[in-house]
A and B are shown apart, each in its own frame.
Chain A
């Protein structure tokens, strides 16, 4: 595969992830590594991880999809405490 066709392929996959009703994921980074497509970035749940991989596989690129996605941090009570903003301008 030439480097140009590789770029077109990645563009096609990015469009699929952004446009597919099941994903609409805009923040997944894709790159070619040998005969694999590496998908990395953050998704909010295991279900969304599976959907991303499924949409990529349905594109039938003939390349293996390497899942390097990570799950977002749980929305917990913040541990770093309150920030006091006291340097406001005077009107």
Chain B
């Protein structure tokens, strides 16, 4: 644990896939999180099937965290078509949910701005879906393109000492290493990395790739961390970043 006040401490986890059978797993370790972190980011797939009763388990487990909790939803949270109700339930319990939006958290070391979006499939350079052909194909690629534009808009005007991108889908290939190459286009979207680089973010957090690796970099060198719970094999990871203050 750091005693320094010139760094922010960001805890993060994704893909907790909670439901009634997992109740009680997170609350005990989140109760005193402020000893280790200033805020907690959750990178989507909070639930297993996108059911409201599963979201209630998440909301109640994570409500005990003694730091601000900021989340994006994942594809599992959309499965039952109740994503709006899930968002409302989470917000009632104190979790901030971002979708093409940003928020700023005050910490003893400065402000942390988080721009969040679920993201979507698309793929990566040379191996991605093209916005061409059948209406169904264009709907698929169009959602991937729109999700990255949404992240860019979330960063616009976001001023903070540290700026973080939070998504469910991966912005880069490197953190997908370990997953079958054939499904990478369904796990990430290179346009998310373009938005992150364009914004000059300090850190990008994502989940979704359970068999991927934790660490990578965007093309412009922004650190990316895949915090899917099966990857980090813990309740969360903590990343410490020095705050940039005007001299």
Residue in contact with B22 in the complex, picked from A24, A44, A85, A91, CB distance below 8 Å = A44
Is the Cβ of B229 less than 8 Å from the Cβ of A84? no
Is the Cβ of A45 less than 8 Å from the Cβ of B22? yes
Write out the residue numbers on chain A whose beta carbons fall within 8 Å of the beta carbon of B237: 78, 83
Closest residue of B by beta carbon distance from A46: B21
Chain B contacts with A in 1-27, Cβ cutoff 8 A: 1-2, 7, 9, 13, 16-17, 21-22, 25-26
Closest residue of B by beta carbon distance from A21: B49
Write out the residue numbers on chain A whose beta carbons fall within 8 Å of the beta carbon of B16: 75
Write out the residue numbers on chain A whose beta carbons fall within 8 Å of the beta carbon of B7: 84
Closest residue of B by beta carbon distance from A22: B49
Is the Cβ of B211 less than 8 Å from the Cβ of A27? yes
Is the Cβ of A83 less than 8 Å from the Cβ of B48? no
Is the Cβ of A85 less than 8 Å from the Cβ of B239? yes
- Asked if A88 CB lies within 8 Å of chain B CBs, one says yes
Mark contacts of A46-72 with chain B using CB atoms, 8 A cut-off: 1 yes-contact digit, 0 otherwise. Answer: 011000000000000000000000001
- Asked if A33 CB lies within 8 Å of chain B CBs, one says no
Closest residue of B by beta carbon distance from A81: B238
- Asked if B245 CB lies within 8 Å of chain A CBs, one says no
Cα distance A24–B79 in the bound complex, in angstroms: 9
| Nearest chain B CB to A3 CB, angstrom units | 20
Interface SS of chain A: helix, strand, loop or mixed?
loop
Is the Cβ of B29 less than 8 Å from the Cβ of A42? no
Q: Given A78-B235, A83-B237, A83-B238, does the pair A91, B229 have CB atoms closer than 8 Å?
A: no
- Number of chain A interface residues as a range: 20 to 34
- Asked if A8 CB lies within 8 Å of chain B CBs, one says no
Interface-lining segment among B87-95, B123-131, B216-224: B216-224
Closest residue of A by beta carbon distance from B241: A85
- Asked if A2 CB lies within 8 Å of chain B CBs, one says no
Residue in contact with B234 in the complex, picked from A48, A76, A87, CB distance below 8 Å = A76
Closest residue of A by beta carbon distance from B37: A82
Is the Cβ of A73 less than 8 Å from the Cβ of B233? yes
Q: Given A24-B48, A75-B16, A88-B202, does the pair A82, B239 have CB atoms closer than 8 Å?
A: yes
Is the Cβ of A83 less than 8 Å from the Cβ of B240? yes
Write out the residue numbers on chain A whose beta carbons fall within 8 Å of the beta carbon of B48: 24, 44, 48
Mark contacts of B198-237 with chain A using CB atoms, 8 A cut-off: 1 yes-contact digit, 0 otherwise. Answer: 0010110000001100000000111100000110111111
The chain B residues found within 8 Å of chain A, CB to CB, are 1-2, 7, 9, 13, 16-17, 21-22, 25-26, 29, 36, 48-49, 76, 79, 200, 202-203, 210-211, 220-223, 229-230, 232-242
Beyond contacts A77-B29, A88-B202: 11 other A-B pairs, Cβ-Cβ < 8 A, are A27-B211, A42-B230, A72-B230, A75-B229, A75-B235, A78-B234, A82-B1, A82-B2, A82-B36, A82-B238, A84-B241
